[in-house]
Amino acid sequence: MQLLLLSPKKNALLYTVKILTGSVIVWFGLRYAGIPEPYWALISLITVTEPDVTQARLNFKIRMINTFTGTVIACLVLVLMGSSLLAMLVAVAVSVLVAMMLHNYPANWRLAPTTVVVLMAAAANGSEFHEELDYALLRVAEVLAGSAVALLQALAYVWIVGLFSRHVDHEAVDQV
């Protein structure tokens, strides 16, 4: 079905359902856990969500590599330079260089410097070093939670589709 400039893609409904259900799970789950505004968990959920389990696993792996890289660099710069615009720019530059210089680094390397900015900006909310680090690590926990929910949804979807297809197959055999 095509309507003017609109034509739904193959998995449009599936993406929509998975992102909406995952968003509800992440939002209320993390709020229940004490995180008042888990926006970065939602962003990670959207980044990792895929209908295909293999692609979801790859997205999860890439998200973890970039999150780990960005986190290590941001935390090192926070320890060495504190929280400032200059420190954030140094951390961004280092994360870009690391991503560009390592062989087989994931193609969407931009998530590492993005992670740096998220963590350094979160750290700017703290008034003392331990608060800066707490804010930064809270963002990491959000990213991990959102990514994990997206991966678990992909696995659950495959399981549900498998159950449904076996049920339909059994009904077809019974009718013959």
pLDDT tens, residue by residue, 134-153: 888 888 899 999 999 999 99
In the numeric block, the tokens 């209908």 are attached to: 51
* pLDDT tens-place string over residues 67-85: 999 999 999 999 999 889 9
The mean of the pLDDT values for the chain is 86
pTM to 2 decimal places: 0.78
Least reliable range by pLDDT among 14-18, 85-89, 169-173:
169-173
Cβ atoms of 112 and 98 closer than 8 Å:
yes
Sorted by where each begins, the domain ranges of the chain are 12-156
Both tokens of residue 96?
Answer: 């870009």
Residue 168 pLDDT more than 90? Answer: no
Q: How far, rounded to the nearest angstrom, does the alpha carbon of residue 90 sit from its chain's CA centroid?
A: 24
Q: How many helices (H) and strands (E) does the chain have?
A: 6, 0
Per-residue pLDDT at 159: 87
